[in-house]
């Protein structure tokens, strides 16, 4: 049976309580470790962790740009990871390292756009708040993500509940919150009755603007600023009637 005990000393070893050990090479007086510290272990060369891919930010930005270009060119249904990778000048693996599928890639793009948010105006009057909200919404709806990508996703949302839920969470819910703030402040000032409906307010304020900028896509004849002034007056008149 094999054991971990040392065997008998070899014939040339002097008898004694145990085998003689060769003296350690002399290298000067031994230095005791610092108080309370363990002796330092021997230095071992460290290896970089295997499989830990470093995601370059410039590659991520190039892929996001390629997603937008691909969506604008072929739409969501025909968009492919291969086409995105080709536009970005990377391999498909670089895309899959960041997103599981084209759905998650597009949703990331929409959520990044929505994260910019619509600030709730606080001008001190319903007319001023509605006009300020229209100004900010107009700027957002002119963004390429809103004017080219979101309409295509709204079509896909009819067939894909995950897209519909993501669009609601990223876009509709924040806009509803802003409209609720405008209505609440107007009620507090006595400009609107307490029964004022937030959904109706949002439809009246942003609905015509979305129709003009995203669906019809024609510039108003009276100029953009005058058009927003007229929309604000019409929305306030409808809300206060």
In the prediction, which pLDDT does 195 show? 92
Mean pLDDT of 132-161: 82
Q: Which two tokens stand for residue 186?
A: 């107007």
Question: What is the three-state SS of 38-51?
Answer: CCCCCCCCCCCCCC
Give tens-digit pLDDT for 34-93.
444 444 445 544 554 445 457 899 999 999 999 888 887 888 888 999 999 999 999 999
In the prediction, which pLDDT does 116 show? 67
* Cβ atoms 66, 84 nearer than 8 A: yes
Give tens-digit pLDDT for 104-143.
888 887 777 776 667 789 999 999 999 999 998 888 888 7
∠ CA 209-210-213, rounded to 5°: 80
Residue 87, classified by CB atoms within 10 Å of its CB into exposed (0-12), middle (13-18) or buried (19+), is middle
To the nearest whole percent, how much of the chain has pLDDT over 90? Answer: 38
């Amino acid at each position: 049976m094999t054991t971990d005990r040392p065997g008998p000393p070899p014939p040339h070893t002097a008898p004694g309580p145990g085998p003689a050990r060769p003296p350690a090479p002399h290298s000067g007086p031994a230095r005791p470790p610092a108080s309370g510290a363990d002796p330092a272990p021997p230095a071992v060369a460290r290896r970089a962790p295997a499989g830990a891919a470093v995601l370059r930010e410039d590659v991520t930005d190039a892929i996001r740009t390629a997603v937008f270009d691909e969506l604008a060119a072929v739409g969501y249904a025909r968009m492919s990871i291969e086409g995105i990778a080709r536009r970005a000048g990377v391999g498909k693996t670089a895309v899959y390292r960041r997103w599981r599928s084209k759905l998650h890639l597009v949703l990331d793009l929409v959520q990044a756009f929505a994260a910019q948010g619509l600030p709730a105006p606080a001008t001190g009057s319903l007319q001023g708040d509605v006009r300020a909200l229209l100004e900010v919404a107009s700027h957002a709806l002119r963004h390429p993500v809103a004017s080219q990508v979101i309409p295509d996703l709204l079509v896909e949302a009819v067939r894909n509940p995950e897209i519909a839920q993501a669009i609601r969470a990223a876009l509709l819910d924040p806009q509803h919150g802003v409209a609720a703030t405008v209505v609440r402040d107007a009620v507090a000032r006595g400009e609107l009755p307490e029964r004022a409906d937030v959904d109706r307010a949002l439809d009246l304020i942003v609905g015509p603007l979305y129709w003009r900028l995203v669906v019809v896509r024609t510039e108003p004849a009276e100029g953009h600023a005058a058009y927003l002034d007229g929309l604000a007056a019409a929305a306030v008149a409808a809300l206060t009637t």
